[in-house]
Amino acid sequence: MPQPPLQPVAITGLGVIGACGRGLAAMERALREGREGVGRLDLWPSTIGDLPVGQYRSDLDADLDSVPGLTPHLRKRLSRSDALALVAAAEAVEQAGLSSLQATGAYVGQSVCGTLTSEALYIEARNRAKAGNPEKLDLRGAFVHEGANTLDRMAEAFGLRGPTLSFMTACSSAANAIGLAADAIRAGRAEVMLAGGADSLSRIAFNGFCSLKVVSPDGPRPFDRERQGMMVGEGAGMLVLESAARAKARGVKVLAWLSGYGHSCDAHHLTAPHPEGKGAIAAMREALEMAGLQPSDIGYINAHGTATLDNDRTEARAISGVFGDGAVPVSSTKRFFGHTLAAAGGIEAVVSVWALRHKLLPANLGLRAPLEDAKLDLVAENRGAPGLRHVLSNSFGFGGNNAALVFTEAE
């Protein structure tokens, strides 16, 4: 017997940073203008630096001035991933109009964490050893390596006293953090939650994906017949979640509802998705069931769509398996931001809420000839959607970790 839908959770704040720039306004300009985030790597010298990345180009240190409570001492204890998370969180908190966050918790999806800093320390140590330099190396930078550092610094800067957890389910990390943060609110473990994901570029992540030969030399072309692969990106997407009752009591504007969440694991392969998309199908169906919706209720799918051969083929088949051939508009925004790994579900949650609020479906940039593995209604150019009420966002990760979120219009 079907279970009644769970109480939706209010989304009252959004924050984003990435290859399209810092903040909601920069993201909106990029989405409306079709301005892609494809560019050259310049965070470190690389012999394969010609391969494009979705890098944040502005002064991240200056951006940290927007984070309230961030003392000079705390600023010295941040990795690039930490900084991206804090800047996005500050924007979300400001939009939500939260004056006190003592009852607030934070669930954050991560994978790279402070690896970029750790790599620099390792390189410096190796160079000193080769040069016979006996001078001791200051290893305090290694303290930012672990994912918990983001949560610790976020708690200190914002005065969080609620539950904090870091999630690492590969590229579905942020989506799981958001879905489970909503569960924590429903269960009464927190009144308000900051939830999303953050990841920076790093040598290990970039070189690793390049070694798998899944990085495209001209950037990603999701769901294109001649797609050549992904583009590694960096950024953060954060949401403020709270119960409907609390949002009403505060008199704050509800931007959208988080109405459904599904999570599954393929248990199939270390990197490849299940070829029939069984786990992806299960996650999407679970999210629909939690929201009390039918497939026909979904007006847009923000796809994971990394532009790798396996991912797009499998996701297209899974979407068709749940919704039918060409039954719902689909697009991937990976050419705007790159594949931001653990942050992807957070950034794409922000995009999904933006699409709901503006009744505008973002284009699937890079599309030339639609793939033939399954028939999808691909959004080749920005498309108006005046009747849009429900959006599904997919996030799929290595190890077959699948997550799907349903966002519903706030009436």
Q: CB neighbours of 16 closer than 8 A, spacing ≥ 6?
A: 23, 24, 27, 88, 91, 235, 236, 237, 238, 346, 347, 350
Task: Please list the alpha-helical segments (H only) found in 104-164.
Answer: 115-131, 148-158
Both tokens assigned to 91: 């924007």
- Region of residue 154 (phi > 0: left; psi between -120 and 50: alpha; otherwise: beta): alpha
Determine contact, residues 232/209, Cβ cutoff 8 Å. yes
- 171 a catalytic residue: yes
Q: Of these residues, 263, 274, 304, 390, which one is catalytic?
A: 304
Q: CB neighbours of 152 closer than 8 A, spacing ≥ 6?
A: none
Both tokens assigned to 195: 């939830």
Radius of gyration in angstroms for the set of CA atoms belonging to the chain, rounded to a whole number = 20
Determine contact, residues 260/389, Cβ cutoff 8 Å. no
Q: Of these residues, 113, 263, 274, 339, which one is catalytic?
A: 339
Both tokens assigned to 294: 């039918």
- 339 a catalytic residue: yes
Give 299's DSSP letter. Answer: -
Burial class (CB in 10 A: 0-12, 13-18, 19+), 245: exposed
Determine contact, residues 167/110, Cβ cutoff 8 Å. yes
Alpha-carbon distance values, 183 to 79, 191, 231, 262 (Å): 29, 11, 32, 11
- 263 a catalytic residue: no
Q: Of these residues, 171, 263, 274, 390, which one is catalytic?
A: 171
Q: Which residues belong to the active site?
A: 171, 304, 339
